[in-house]
Amino acid sequence: MTVLPEPSDAAFLEAFEAGERPGGVFRHADHLRLAWLYLQRDGAALGEERIADGIRRFADAQGAVGLYHETLTRVWVRLVAAALAATPCGGSFPRFLEANPQLADKAYVFRFYSVEALSAARAREEWIEPDREPLP
């Protein structure tokens, strides 16, 4: 199996904004990288809005409209923002993830939300506050 090199940050954003899967896939780490890039470029408030709008458009372009989840999108952006504030490393995304390994664990959100809260139709459609523990 041939492993393709990761696209540069600029190529990654360009592909995403064109509705393409950067590198042919879009995994959890890609969502994190997207948040990392937008938050650094646009700041927390504007970055969060651009990420949410972008992921909605991306899901539409991929024919996966029903997969968009408002609360999950925003909670991961806010977790990345908190990690950026706590570990402002100007290095690469892999270094950022190395400094914040909790972000790589998709189950990390369950520290803040119950399964029931995130499974609710309302959470998919709009932001809901954590029901277990406040976000950092």
Instruction: Tell me how far CA of residue 61 lies from CA of 2, 18, 28, 65, 116, in angstroms.
Output: 27, 9, 18, 8, 29
Q: List, for residues 59-112, the tens digit of each pLDDT value.
A: 888 787 778 899 999 999 999 999 999 987 668 999 999 999 999 999 999 999
**pTM for the predicted model, two decimal places:** 0.89
Which token pair is 60? 């539409």
Token representation of residue 44? 């927390």
- Does 66 fall in a domain? yes
pLDDT digits (tens, 9 = 90+) for 55-65: 888 888 878 77
Instruction: Report if residue 133 sits inside a domain.
Output: no
- Residue 132 is assigned to a structural domain of this protein: no
Is 33 part of any domain? yes
- Residue 134 inside a domain? The answer is no
> DSSP letters along 101-128, please?
GGGG-GGGGGGTS-HHHHHSHHHHHS--
How many beta carbons lie within 10 A of that of residue 109, not counting itself?
19
- What is the Cα–Cα distance from 120 to 122, expressed in whole angstroms? 5
Question: How far is the CA of 109 from the CAs of 51, 73, 131, in angstroms?
Answer: 18, 11, 11
pLDDT tens-digit profile of 29-58? 999 999 999 999 999 999 999 999 998 888
Q: Answer whether residue 1 is part of any domain.
A: no
Answer whether residue 117 is part of any domain.
yes
Domain containing residue 67: 9-14+26-125
C-alpha–C-alpha distance, residues 86 and 78, integer Å: 12
Instruction: Report the number of distinct structural domains present in the chain.
Output: 1
To which residue do tokens 């690469």 refer? 92
Residue, of 25 and 56, whose pLDDT is higher: 56
| 8 A C-beta contact, residue 131 and residue 123 | no
Asked if residue 41 belongs to a domain, the reply is: yes
